[in-house]
Structure 1
Amino acid sequence: MIPIISLIGRSNVGKSSLFNLLTKTNSSLINNKEKTTRDRNYGFFVIKKKNFCIIDTAGIDFFKKKEKKNFLKIESYNQTKFAIKESNFVIFMVDAKEGIQELDFYILKKIRKENKSIILVINKIDKISNKEKIIDFYRFGIKKIYKISVSHKKGLSNLLKEIYISSKKIIKEKEIKTVLSNKLNYLIKIRICFIGKPNVGKSSLINSLVNYNRMITSSIPGTTRDIIKVSLNNKNIEYIFTDTAGIKKKNKRKTILEKVSEKRSINVIKKNNISIVVIDANTEIYDQDLSIINLVIKSKCTFFIVVNKWDLILKSKKNEIKKNINSRLQFIKNIKIIYISALYKTGLKKFIHHINLVYQESLKTFSSSCLTSILNKAIIQHPLPTGVTGKAIRLKYAHLGKKNPLFIIIHGTQTQYVSRTYKKYLMHFFQKELQIPNTPIQLFFKKSINPYIKLIN
């Protein structure tokens, strides 16, 4: 069993900064604005060749009577509460600069209800000169106290030692062996990211797939901010789903947080095996949807399209809407469109089946003779035009460069004059002949050099 640690505390005490430092990532958003983190964010780090899981959580706050209906605040709190329950021990983080607060006692009371071992971490010690503020924190009655500065990387070595020692006391060796043996059963890992406009149902879809409320879902656009990863284990396959922030139009991005969230959403596409573009069936396909699809195409990532909220469409209008969607997406050839309802969990079996199919496609290997034969067949069916210099363009043979994404190298003469439209024709021809309609192909044209050219000159 990998030890699980949750980071708990008020907003803006440095939980996300410590999370990013330990995991050596920028998975958690950092901002001076309070309540930046909303969901549970999981990461991993290593101490002495031992793996640890750490959970970044939303800052806990008092609940006022007026805020009982504040959905996001309640859900953020529930996510934090769940993190405390599933962790082996808790890092309770406080701010040395602001000193001890009434809210700190309130949070500590919530942690102690779960009967977890607690490490008190006093952050921002570089910002104080009066040590009396630190002495105040001893009133909590916590034995394990560590003073650090995340921004200056001070005091971290002692904290890491304590984490390592605490884990050895709490986690039994038998449990570790049991879970490790179970982990080995999952031979295949497929990384899938969900991308789309805000409020199309990306988080709801992941919650339905894993069968519990892992992500906060809301009708309020922009609820998801961080890059959140969730695993689903099924039939020796581990599916690693990544939820991303919804991508808005440039003129509708209001805050720095929204801009950073969306930039990360774009970067995460390249780190996954498959991208899922989620579209809302209840609205038309807007230019923003097309822009997101173009973004995925340019990234050369394997992808397909999911139309969510299909339950909201009347039976009499479903065929009409399908025609409209196909018409708007006619510029994409061979890409599968799956209609689902994340709310009612319809179409999810088909969805998982297609993920497996697409992943298998992306791993196929093709011989040079097979690829060259398909190249020649494509040229016979649609001959190459003459280059701009008047010289004939000749494509001689093709071979595989790499897989996932598929990279085919084509050798010939005057290849620099092959037009964009002919390149697209070849790409679609290869997809059809190789029976990999969902896998994008990158073509690289290599110019053959005449070895006797220097002798002629």
Structure 2
Amino acid sequence: MIPIIALIGQSNVGKSSLFNLLTKSKNSLISKSHQTTRDINYGYFLIKNNQFCIADTAGISFFRKEEKKNIIQTESYKKTKIAIQKSNFIIFIVDAYIGITKLDYFILKKIRKSNKPFILLINKIDRTNLNDKIIDFYNFGIKNICKISVLHRIGINKFLKKIHLFWKKLNFSKLNNIPLIKKKNNIKIKICFIGKTNVGKSTIINKLLNYNRIITSSIPGTTRDSITESLTINNIEYVLTDTAGIIKKNKQHSFLEYISIKKSFNIIKFNHIIVIVIDAYIGVCAQDLSIINKIINFGCPFFILLNKWDLIALDKKKIIKSIIYNRLRFIKNVAIITISALYKIGFKKILKQIKIIYKESLSTFSSSYLTKIVNQAVMQHPLSMGATGKIIRLKYAHCVNKNPILIIIHGTRTQYISLTYKKYLMHFLQQALHIPNTPIQIYFKNNINPYISKNNNTNY
């Protein structure tokens, strides 16, 4: 077991900034707006070869009557309490610039009720003339106090030493010798769920995990951070990543929304399989087609989930399905699965499809076999000469990468091969190699004649 540290405090005290600094990542969104973090975000960092798990949590606020109506805020607070319960010790972060507030006393009361050991961390000490405000924090009567500035990296080394000494006092050294759940025999498949807002991405992941890991609500844009959680079944570890809902640029009302969406697309690169979630009740919109087009351009293996299938009447399902399939007719060899996240219908198909695509994406092919298939494709549909009037020849092919599969085809005058013919080759290779669910990236390379330069330089 690895010690779990929970970062607790009100909004905008620097919890997410500290989390990103310690984990050396940009997993937590940072913004000046309140309640940027809504869910628990877990990460790992090392101090003297000792591993720690750190949990970034939502900022705590007073629950007035009008605030209780806010579902997201209520759920965020519940998640923060879960993080406190699961943690081995707590880092209570306060803002030196603001000073002590009634909210800090409220949070401190909650932390003390948990009976968990904790450290008081005073952040933003880089501001001038703050001595009086910093001294006020000593009125809390807390022994373990540390002062830092995350922004200017002041006091970070002292803070890490403080954590290490605090950890030693709590006798966690024996627990920390056990490595982070890693089994050599386990297959690790990284899956990213992407789609518009309110299509059910978070609900699908919660149902797969069999508990409410991610906050869900009917409010668009509930998920902001990319939340990752693991699920292990039969020695296969499924690393599931939930992303922020994608909305059009003209509907992005804040910089935070822009960053969330940009992060959703950036995280795709680090996953093996992409699952595009579409609301079957609404149908395939222009935004869905835009998302699919971007995933195709990335060259990642993907399949489509039509969620909320339970909302469609039985007598209309065939008609709706034909309309959706017609809208997606430009996609070839991509699985489309109908599910209901609410009633957990069709979920076995999800994991089955993930295993099929992952197995296909790791396939290996010899150069001779690939060259033979390329020649068959050319025989069935010969290359046109084009404007040059010269013959384009494809000589041999070889695979240079897996997941995604990248095939290099060598030949002459390959720069004149049209995009249409390239797509034809991709689909032909998918069928011939028996990997219909996995996209293939093709790169053409011209063979250089070594005698051309010599002939040009020869004097007769």
TM-score (norm 2): 0.96
Q: What is the aligned partner in structure 2 of residue 350 from structure 1?
A: 349
Q: Aligned residue for 2:21? A: 21
Letter aligned with residue 278 of structure 1: V
Partner SS state of residue 322, structure 2: helix
Q: Which residue of 2 aligns with 1:115?
A: 115
* Cα distance between partner residues in 2 of 1:375 and 1:323: 34
Higher mean Cα deviation, 64-73 or 388-397?
A: 64-73
Q: What secondary structure sits across from 2:262 in the alignment? A: helix
> CA separation in 2, counterparts of 1:90 and 1:178?
21
Please state how far the C-alpha of 1:141 moved relative to its aligned partner: 2.0
Structure 1 residue matching 2:94: 3-state secondary structure: strand
- Following superposition, the deviation at residue 165 of structure 1 comes to 2.6
Q: Summarize the Cα distance change of 1:173–1:144 in structure 2 as closer, same or farther, 3 Å threshold.
A: closer
Residue in structure 2 matched with residue 384 of structure 1 by the alignment: 383
| 1:94 equivalent in structure 2 | 94
Alignment of 1:58-207 (within 5 A): 58-170=58-170, 172=172, 175-176=175-176, 180=180, 183-184=182-183, 187-207=186-206
Give the 5 Å matches for 1:218-367. Answer: 218-367=217-366
- Report the equivalent of 1:435: 434
Partner Cα distance (1:379, 1:289) in 2: 34
DSSP 3-state at the match of 1:408: strand
Shift of 1:314: 1.4
Q: Hey, what's the Cα distance between the residues in 2 that align with 1:5 and 1:348?
A: 34
Q: Secondary structure at the match of 2:387?
A: coil
The residue identity in structure 2 corresponding to 1:188 is I
Displacement of 1:231 in angstroms is 1.1
- Which structure 2 segments of 5+ residues have no match? none
Kindly provide the amino acid, as one letter, of the partner of residue 114 in structure 2.
Answer: E
Following TM superposition, by how much is the alpha carbon of 1:11 offset from its aligned partner in structure 2, in angstroms? 0.5
Which amino acid counterpart does residue 147 of structure 1 have in structure 2? K
Shift, 1:247, TM fit: 0.8
Which letter maps to 2:427? H
Number of matched pairs: 456
Report if the CA contact (8 A) 2:2-2:178 is conserved.
Answer: no
Take 1:178 and 1:125, find their aligned partners in 2: how far apart are those partners? 36
Code of the residue aligned with 2:445 in structure 1: it is K
Alignment partner, residue 413 of structure 2 = 414
Other structure's SS at 1:360 match:
helix
The more displaced of 79-88 and 445-454 is 445-454
Shift of 1:172: 4.4
* Further displaced range: 312-321 or 167-176: 167-176
Identity %: 62
8 Å contact kept, 2:50–2:176: no
Secondary structure of 1:125's aligned partner: coil
Aligned-partner residue type, residue 392 of structure 2: I
Name the CA shift for 1:258/1:287 in 2 (closer, same or farther; >3 Å).
Answer: same
Matched residue SS, 1:166: helix
* Aligned-partner Cα distance in 1 for 2:182–2:298: 31
Give deviations 1:62-81, integer Å, cap 9, x for gaps: 11123323211110101111
Report SS of the residue matched to 1:190. Answer: strand
CA distance in 2, matches of 1:177, 1:152: 33
C-alpha RMSD over aligned residues: 1.5
Provide the rounded CA distance (Å) in 2 between the counterparts of 1:237 and 1:351.
14
The one-letter code of the counterpart of 1:6 is A
Distance in 2, Cα, partners of 1:74 & 1:186: 41
- Partner of 1:316, secondary structure, is helix
User: CA-to-partner distance for each residue in 1:105-129, whole Å, 9 max, x for gaps?
Assistant: 1111111222111010000111141
Q: Output the TM-score relative to the length of structure 1.
A: 0.97
2: distance between equivalents of 1:364 and 1:10? 50
Cα distance, 1:171 vs. partner? 5.6
Deviations 1:241-279 (A, max 9, x none): 111111101111111100111111111111111111100
